[in-house]
Structure 1
Amino acid sequence: MSIKALPLRALQTPAYERLMTEACAPVDLSERLTADVAGHRLELIFDGGERLTRLLDLINGAAHSIDIIMYIFEGDAAGVRIVDALLVAARRGVRVRAVIDSFGSGDTPDGLFAPLREAGGSVTFFSRRWRSTYLIRNHQKLVLIDDHVAVTGGFNIADDYLSPPRSDCWFDIGMIVKGPSIARAALWFDEIHDYTVNNDGKLLMLRRLIREWPIDNGAISWLVGGPTQRLSPWARAVRADLENARQLDMAMAYFSPGQGMLRRLGRVAQRGRARFVMAGKSDNAATIGASRLLYGYLLRKSADVCEYQPCKLHMKLIIIDDVVYIGSANFDVRSLFVNVEVMVRIADAGFARQMRGFVAEMRSDCEVITPNSHKARAGWLTRIRWTLAWFVVGIVDYTVSRKLNFGLGDPDPEV
């Protein structure tokens, strides 16, 4: 963002001075970011069109098995291409299994998968009926090829996530992982697939499945989340990493944690440095309002807050000292306590430096939020809207809150 685009009052803030000293160039979405960590090869893809190409290449190269967990699987051009590739794989003898969320993919016709089932593939919908688990969403995004390669991140199977960059697309991460820990991801798929096929809707069983998933101390850890009575395994790991952290960087699509997690973030900002890149654009205005409700607290704790402007931000990226989290979980109440999620924890100082640099580059495409600029748009009516949005985003599914924007999609008359 150019200097002219900043409000004049921002020019003398510490946040602005840090932004200018970083001298960041805009993020080049055509570039890949790669790293080698503890016998693993990590590759991050930011271009949606390239994500689709790589997914199709991996599916076409599968020899034994293809396993997919997905929140949204649309019947649009990208979805049809993926299904067609899965069908070809099934016909050559590859085992194909998919677990798809019934609510996130509620508009997708079941007939899309009929040829795949006829070829021997298995497609099962998570939480198919009105039961105690119906408000719990399978929000995961995971693709496994031959129990050897895993692909995860925030993206869904839909044109918006698997198309070349454009103004209305989602800016997201697709991470390809190769290495010994894929066996853990494959074990998790087997467990959630077995639950969905045989025990869908049994809340106590799902809680036990999530609660008993072990948190290991390896350099690459596959962590899961879900409707446990307390924090889920991935949320417990984040909480532990925040306890004594001095550096925090977060690029987050939906940000609306509870007070406990919010205070932990504030303590990191006070004893070290905390930088947040939030969504400035979304198809879900309620989630932006819920995030903005918390900006004042973060700014009072000396955190740097900015909003990404070129397109809709959808990534879920957290860097805490030398640890990086990438996966499907937002930093909100639903992802911390309710939704079934998968996150990869990567403990490696070199990779953390790479990702911290990536977040720094994003800031040149952001609007910096200052105490004054935040106060200027936080009139009493807007704050009421933000508060309502925070409560709704924490309770209902994203596809529902998208329709309840409380007027937040319109220009604020108080600004």
Structure 2
Amino acid sequence: MEPEIAFSVADNDFAMVPSGARRRGLILDTIGGARETLDLLFYDFADDQSGVAVRDALIAAARRGVAVRLVIDGFGLRDMADAETFFAPLREAGASGFAFNASLGRRYLIRNHQKILIADGATAIIGGANIADDYLGDEDGCWRDLWLRVEGDCVVALGDYYDAIYEWMGDKKARLRKLADLVARASTTSGPLQWQFSAPWPRHTPWPSGLIRDLWSAKEVDLVAAYFSPSAAMLRRLERVAKDGGRVNLLTPAKSDNDTTIAAARHNYHQLLEAGVEIHEYEKTKMHTKLVIVDDAVHIGSSNFDFRSLFLNLEVMLRIHDEKAAQLMRDWVRTELADSRAITPELHARRDTLWQRTLWAISNFLVTSMDYTVSRRLNLPLGSDD
């Protein structure tokens, strides 16, 4: 089992958890150790063995007097056989919560894609992994992903954000402008630790805006993206770093439960390779990791590097500006490359048939314009990998 990767920044302690089994132990231990409050916000919560274990841990916490709040995205509950019955014992134990955007309306296409757990206002978990067996295990076929455990004063700001977003989510008449303003106020742009959020409003996109600021002067970029289909402006920024003599390394999946997202990423490979960007595809198992390292700044959290995450979803990212932390993360990315395949210009040229280009373009359109569930149902074929 892989060890945690621990470091400290500005009197806050962090541990990066790449092992699914360790993530399962971490969340159960954190819930079991809570004494006053537990606040959870996740995209997906399954009714499998891991989901039952987490639900039952929350029930036990509520019964011992812990105030438990839980929000799950409405789309993330659709795979459950009966969500109402599954969560009924948790409500009976005194917990509160709801499904986000469960009803039709103007807000229907907005997805809560955040993954947040806060215990007693002092310990937090953020990252990309959901609550399900294939995110909380290391067997063949499980998702390769990351969580970050955060302990220290910076958790207070995340707790304030949770309080505000929970209130907004509970108001069925809440306006999108209020959500955008809330996200903008909660995001920070100074100091070694910055919470940066995104929401569906063009005026306020703090997380991608913060990343773009870092990329303007970047010399070294490592980007690990489960879904890679960004805007043209973001692509140009990455290309410019490479063309100006910087090093850009992109790691995307070769395996997924949604091959359309892989095809969408390949739609952008040609221009990136021409600019000098290094590209690898992770082959060991399905990859769901979200991590960007720009020089000495680390961006880690729930956001994919696609149009929906950057401009439509609710996302949470933590920017950590620290040379040691960045190097630890960069060293970890290097170990991931050992289980990856380099996408050379020659390999991409062999794949780049007219038929494949057409599929890649269609896939990119679907991924950038529609909900994940639509592209997953279509699941367009990848074709040959040789």
**Normalised by the shorter chain, which TM-score bucket?**
over 0.9
Structure 1 CA distance, aligned partners of 2:203 and 2:235?
A: 16
CA contact 1:231–1:336 (8 Å) conserved in 2: no
Structure 2 CA distance, aligned partners of 1:382 and 1:44?
A: 37
Q: Tell me the residue number matched to 2:231.
A: 258
Q: Tell me the residue number matched to 1:100.
A: 72
CA contact 1:126–1:200 (8 Å) conserved in 2: no
Q: Does 1:345 align with 2:319?
A: yes
CA contact 1:224–1:232 (8 Å) conserved in 2: yes
Of the structure 1 ranges 238-247 and 263-272, higher mean CA displacement relative to structure 2 is found in: 263-272
Q: Tell me the residue number matched to 1:322.
A: 296
Q: Does 1:153 align with 2:127?
A: yes
CA contact 1:141–1:342 (8 Å) conserved in 2: yes
Structure 2 CA distance, aligned partners of 1:31 and 1:91?
A: 33
Residue 365 of structure 1, aligned match among 339, 342, 347: 339
CA contact 2:18–2:144 (8 Å) conserved in 1: yes
Q: Does 1:143 align with 2:111?
A: no
CA contact 1:222–1:344 (8 Å) conserved in 2: yes
CA contact 1:155–1:173 (8 Å) conserved in 2: yes
Residue 243 of structure 2, aligned match among 230, 245, 270: 270
For residues 200 and 343 of structure 1, do their structure 2 counterparts lie closer, same or farther at Cα, with a shift above 3 Å needed? farther
For residues 78 and 182 of structure 1, do their structure 2 counterparts lie closer, same or farther at Cα, with a shift above 3 Å needed? same
Structure 1 CA distance, aligned partners of 2:23 and 2:96?
A: 24
Residue 310 of structure 1, aligned match among 278, 281, 284: 284
Structure 1 CA distance, aligned partners of 2:173 and 2:307?
A: 23
Structure 2 CA distance, aligned partners of 1:200 and 1:116?
A: 26
Structure 2 CA distance, aligned partners of 1:384 and 1:35?
A: 45
Q: Tell me the residue number matched to 2:136.
A: 162
* SS across alignment from 2:318: strand
Residue-by-residue CA offset, 1:266-290 (whole Å, 9 max, x unaligned): 1111221001111111001010001
Q: Tell me the residue number matched to 2:354.
A: 380
Unaligned runs of 5+ in 1: 1-28
* SS across alignment from 1:354: helix
Structure 1 CA distance, aligned partners of 2:134 and 2:241?
A: 34
Residue 44 of structure 1, aligned match among 16, 25, 30: 16
- Point out which structure has higher relative CO (alpha carbons under 8 A, 6+ apart): 1
CA contact 1:113–1:123 (8 Å) conserved in 2: no
Residue 207 of structure 2, aligned match among 227, 234, 243: 234
* SS across alignment from 1:402: helix
Unaligned runs of 5+ in 2: none
Q: Tell me the residue number matched to 2:367.
A: 393
Q: Alignment identity in percent?
A: 41
CA contact 1:317–1:324 (8 Å) conserved in 2: yes
Structure 2 CA distance, aligned partners of 1:210 and 1:30?
A: 35
Structure 1 CA distance, aligned partners of 2:173 and 2:349?
A: 47
CA contact 1:132–1:201 (8 Å) conserved in 2: no
Structure 1 CA distance, aligned partners of 2:214 and 2:251?
A: 19
CA RMSD between the two structures? 1.4
Q: Does 1:405 align with 2:379?
A: yes
Structure 2 CA distance, aligned partners of 1:406 and 1:276?
A: 23
Q: Tell me the residue number matched to 1:68.
A: 40
Written as runs of structure 1 = structure 2, the 5 A alignment for 1:183-198 is 183-198=156-171
Q: Tell me the residue number matched to 1:24.
A: none
* SS across alignment from 1:135: coil
CA contact 2:187–2:197 (8 Å) conserved in 1: no
Q: Tell me the residue number matched to 1:221.
A: 194
Residue-by-residue CA offset, 1:320-343 (whole Å, 9 max, x unaligned): 000001100001100110000000
Structure 2 CA distance, aligned partners of 1:138 and 1:305?
A: 29
In structure 1, give the amino acid aligned to 2:62: A
In structure 2, give the amino acid aligned to 1:277: L
For residues 339 and 247 of structure 1, do their structure 2 counterparts lie closer, same or farther at Cα, with a shift above 3 Å needed? same
State the TM-score, normalized to the length of structure 1.
Answer: 0.90
Structure 1 CA distance, aligned partners of 2:380 and 2:243?
A: 33
In structure 2, give the amino acid aligned to 1:54: L
> 1:200: how far off?
5.9
Residue-by-residue CA offset, 1:206-249 (whole Å, 9 max, x unaligned): 23322343323121111111101146111110000001111000
* SS across alignment from 2:334: helix
Structure 1 CA distance, aligned partners of 2:181 and 2:105?
A: 17
In structure 2, give the amino acid aligned to 1:245: A
> 1:107: how far off?
2.4
> 1:304: how far off?
0.6
CA contact 1:170–1:311 (8 Å) conserved in 2: yes
Q: How many residues align?
A: 383
> 1:73: how far off?
0.6
For residues 121 and 276 of structure 1, do their structure 2 counterparts lie closer, same or farther at Cα, with a shift above 3 Å needed? same
Q: Tell me the residue number matched to 2:85.
A: 111
